[in-house]
């Protein structure tokens, strides 16, 4: 597909600064730009690329003021990053869509399949399942008995959804993710033996949730593990049994959440955060990378870092001391020797 700068500006309600007739047919990073490509500049760290990029069109924030000559045509918008994301969405939507049910897909007779659904090769849909209108079920997906997938959801290749789980509308689940495997429940019988506790609950994922690749979300022991509306989960995240994640919370890769923990809405968890079980995290909490959370966070909109984690301002003050510990130890040893010498006198 090919668009002029004027057409793109019209779609984004932007202003053209340069040649409105210049055409683009692809997108590229600003540092890798070439003729016919559209790029964007949002981060000031990349400004130097705009003076040398070969991209034909560059989206910039409306207030951007160049300090050198720019060859590319600019489209000025209120937020270049959001505008570029909108264009990528348009490009994605314009791609050919998979349709139909592959001959090798296995769909049990009691399953209900909606309209305009795509089901790929070797997918399996179990007894009494429901797949809503407009869903895309890619090859080798497994959907266990009595599970439900809401309308317009996308289940990518090799996803496993165990029995009796619920996926809402407009969700995206990326390749290799497992939803509804048994929670980690074992009762000690002796010093060397454990008895498995049956996990008879399920997982409920509400609308507009996106789950990355190779995520594991355990089913509840009883009741439900719940991922609420609008949550975004990165790759390689582990969510334990009976966990609840509040609306619009986001979490980065390799985060681990132990069983029965409740995380509030609008929280942000950076990479490799570890959260102990049976605790509560208040709404709006922001947790820095590799933080370890061992107890409740009761105050909303708190920012915490460290392991064990504590208030980020205190953490930054503490890092100054951490760096000086060897020096402080040397000074302390010297003071102790001086005190011992004075005692001797």
CATH code where residue 40 lies: 3.40.1390.10
Kindly state whether residues 204 and 269 are assigned to the same domain. Answer: yes
For the four alpha carbons of 51, 52, 54 and 59, in that order, the dihedral sign comes to: negative
Q: Given 35, 63, 94, which residue is the final one in a domain?
A: 94
Kindly state whether residues 151 and 277 are assigned to the same domain. Answer: yes
The reported pTM is: 0.83
Kindly state whether residues 11 and 29 are assigned to the same domain. Answer: yes
* Structure token digits, residue 128: 């009494």
What does the pLDDT profile of the chain (345 residues) look like in tens digits?
A: 789 999 999 999 999 999 999 999 999 999 999 999 999 999 999 999 999 999 999 999 999 999 999 999 999 999 999 999 998 888 787 788 889 999 999 999 999 999 999 999 999 999 999 999 999 999 999 999 999 999 999 999 999 999 999 999 999 999 999 999 999 999 898 888 999 999 999 999 999 999 999 999 999 999 999 999 999 999 999 999 999 999 999 999 999 999 999 999 999 999 999 999 999 999 999 999 999 999 999 999 999 988 777 787 887 777 777 778 888 888 888 888 888 888 877
Kindly state whether residues 55 and 134 are assigned to the same domain. Answer: no
Measured distance between the N- and C-terminal CA atoms of the chain, rounded to whole angstroms: 91
What is the distance between the alpha carbons of residues 24 and 149, in angstroms, rounded to a whole number?
Answer: 38
Residue 222's pLDDT is what?
95
Residue 14's pLDDT is what?
95
Neighbouring residues of 345: CB distance < 8 A, sequence distance ≥ 6? none
Kindly state whether residues 163 and 213 are assigned to the same domain. Answer: yes
Residue 88's pLDDT is what?
87
- Active-site residue flag, 163: no
Neighbouring residues of 183: CB distance < 8 A, sequence distance ≥ 6? 199, 201, 218, 219, 220, 221, 225, 240, 241, 242, 259
Kindly state whether residues 156 and 304 are assigned to the same domain. Answer: yes
Residue from 34, 102, 163, 241 carrying the catalytic annotation? 241
Kindly state whether residues 63 and 114 are assigned to the same domain. Answer: no
What is the distance between the alpha carbons of residues 40 and 142, in angstroms, rounded to a whole number?
Answer: 39
Per the structure, the count of domains in the chain is 3
- Which residue range(s) make up the domain with 125? 100-311
Q: Given 75, 94, 113, which residue is the final one in a domain?
A: 94
Residue 308's pLDDT is what?
75
Kindly state whether residues 163 and 280 are assigned to the same domain. Answer: yes
- CATH code, domain with 119: 2.160.10.10
Kindly state whether residues 82 and 126 are assigned to the same domain. Answer: no
Kindly state whether residues 19 and 125 are assigned to the same domain. Answer: no
């Amino acid at each position: 597909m090919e668009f002029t700068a004027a057409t793109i500006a019209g779609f984004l309600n932007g202003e053209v600064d340069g040649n409105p007739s210049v055409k683009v047919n692809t997108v590229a990073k600003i540092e890798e730009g070439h003729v016919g490509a559209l790029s964007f500049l949002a981060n000031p760290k990349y400004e130097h690329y705009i003076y040398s990029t070969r991209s034909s069109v560059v989206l910039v924030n409306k207030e951007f003021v160049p300090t050198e000559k720019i060859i590319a045509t600019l489209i000025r918008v209120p937020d270049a990053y959001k505008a570029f994301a909108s264009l990528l969405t348009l490009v994605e939507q314009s791609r050919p869509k998979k349709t139909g049910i592959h001959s090798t897909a296995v769909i049990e007779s009691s399953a209900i399949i909606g309209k305009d659904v795509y089901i790929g090769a070797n997918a399996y849909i179990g007894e009494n399942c429901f797949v809503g209108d407009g869903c895309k079920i890619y090859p080798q997906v497994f959907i266990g008995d009595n599970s439900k997938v809401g309308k317009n959801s996308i289940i990518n290749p090799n996803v496993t959804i165990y029995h009796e789980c619920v996926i809402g509308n407009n969700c995206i689940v990326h390749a290799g993710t497992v939803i509804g495997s048994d929670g980690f429940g074992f009762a000690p019988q002796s010093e060397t033996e454990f008895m498995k506790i049956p996990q008879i609950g399920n997982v409920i994922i509400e609308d507009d949730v996106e789950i990355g690749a190779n995520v594991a979300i355990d089913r509840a022991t009883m009741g439900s593990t719940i991922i609420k509306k609008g949550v975004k989960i990165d790759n390689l995240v582990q969510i334990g049994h009976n966990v609840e994640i509040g609306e619009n919370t986001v979490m980065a890769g390799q985060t681990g959440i132990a069983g029965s923990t409740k995380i509030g809405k609008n929280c942000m968890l950076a990479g490799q955060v570890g959260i102990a079980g049976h605790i509560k995290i208040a709404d709006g909490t922001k947790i820095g990378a590799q933080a370890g959370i061992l107890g409740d966070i009761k105050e909303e909109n708190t920012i915490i870092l460290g392991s064990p984690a504590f208030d980020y301002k205190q953490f930054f003050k503490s890092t100054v001391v951490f760096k000086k510990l060897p020096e402080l130890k040397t000074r302390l040893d010297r003071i102790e020797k001086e005190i011992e010498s004075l005692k001797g006198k």
